[in-house]
Structure 1
Amino acid sequence: MSTYQDFVNKIIQENRETLMAIDEKQIQSLIDEIRKAKTIQLYAMGRMQLSVRGFAMRLKHMGFDSYVVYDTTTPCIGKGDLLIVHCAVTNVELNIIKLAKEAGARIVLLTAHPENEHGQYADLAVRVPGQIFGTENEIPSIQPMSTLLEQSLFLFTDIVTMMIMDQCDIALDKMKNRHTNLEGLCGDFA
């Protein structure tokens, strides 16, 4: 029977292996795409959407015009805009990618499978090889289903955020000033 410490060590190792396998040229290309986009729209389904929402929030904090696809305030997408899709393996995602491409947007995929049909429409596919199907091109995981990819995408987009902050000289104070002030933080935390 595995202990808590056993699981911690294995899960951290899986994420480390996945994150270290990402091509740094692709990471820089992703940052370049973000920096030149008029608006940035992000999409994912299920638990993958947690990383999408977190990244959209940080992009907004850094001063980028970012939205989550299907939110009520998301504008139409078109030329000069960027769609970032996390995972990109379902027919739903494929349809969104095709519609955004037809509208003239650039497409970036953060996916374990850039070789699939979705990747044919992408202007950039960043391979994040965490397990989703358990195939040989993925980093294997003891965790169920696509948990490793979900975790790795969240960590990856947080690291990309830090890289953008560094490259664009974005001060943390400016980001804090763009954060909502309706949370009701009190005392020393405000």
Structure 2
Amino acid sequence: MKTYKDHVHTVLQENLKTLTAVNPEQVQQLIKEIQQAKTIQLYGMGRMQLSVRGFAMRLKHMGFDSYVVYDTTTPCIGNGDLLIVHCAVTNVELNVIQLAKKVGARIVLLTAHPENEHGQYADLCVHIPGQIFGINSEIHSVQPMSTLLEQSLFLFTDIITMMLMEQCNISLEKMKNQHTNLEGLSGDFA
């Protein structure tokens, strides 16, 4: 039986292998797409949506006009806007991509499968090869189902946040000022 530390090492190594396999040119293209967008809308289903929500929040903290698709405050999407889809393998995601493309939005996929039909509609596919189906083109994981891709997407978008902060000269102080002030922090934490 493996120990906790054995599992920690395995999970970290799988994420390291996945994240270092990402093409740096695609990363820079993603940053450019974000910088040029009027609004940024993000979409993901199930556990993928955890990374979507985290990234939308950080984009908002940096001053980008970002939303999660289907939230009640998300505006219509169109020319000059950007849709970022996490995973992009289901028919539901394909429908969202096609609708956004039809009204002129730019499409970026963060996906293990840029070769699928979804990728045909994308202006940019960032290939993040974490396991989702367990096939040869993916980085194999001992974790269940698409856990590796889910983790890698969360880490990837946090890394993109750090790069945007550096490249757009966005200070941590500015981000803190954009963060909600309704959490009730007091004393030394405020």
* TM-score calculated relative to the size of structure 1: 1.00
The match for 2:31 is 31
SS of the aligned residue for 2:107 comes to strand
The match for 1:77 is 77
The match for 1:146 is 146
The match for 2:161 is 161
- CA drift of 1:134 comes to 0.4
The match for 2:64 is 64
SS of the aligned residue for 2:97 comes to helix
Q: Deviations over 1:2-23 (max 9, x none)?
A: 1101000000000000000000
The percent identity for this pair of structures is 78
The match for 1:172 is 172
- CA drift of 1:101 comes to 0.1
- CA drift of 1:180 comes to 0.3
For the residues of structure 2 that align with 1:126 and 1:169, how far apart are their CA atoms? 24
Alignment RMSD, CA only?
0.3
Runs (5+) with no aligned partner, structure 2: none
For the residues of structure 1 that align with 2:48 and 2:187, how far apart are their CA atoms? 34
Letter of the aligned partner of 1:128 in structure 2? Answer: I
Matched, 1:101 2:105: no
Letter of the aligned partner of 1:40 in structure 2? Answer: I
Q: How many residues align?
A: 190
For the residues of structure 2 that align with 1:83 and 1:100, how far apart are their CA atoms? 7
SS of the aligned residue for 2:84 comes to strand
SS of the aligned residue for 2:161 comes to helix
The match for 2:121 is 121
Matched, 1:86 2:86: yes
Q: Deviations over 1:151-190 (max 9, x none)?
A: 0000000000000000000000000000000011111111
For the residues of structure 2 that align with 1:42 and 1:171, how far apart are their CA atoms? 23
For the residues of structure 2 that align with 1:66 and 1:158, how far apart are their CA atoms? 15
- CA drift of 1:135 comes to 0.6
For the residues of structure 1 that align with 2:19 and 2:189, how far apart are their CA atoms? 32
Letter of the aligned partner of 1:27 in structure 2? Answer: V
* TM-score calculated relative to the size of structure 2: 1.00
Letter of the aligned partner of 1:110 in structure 2? Answer: L
TM superposition outliers: structure 1 runs of 4+ over 4 Å: none
Letter of the aligned partner of 1:165 in structure 2? Answer: M
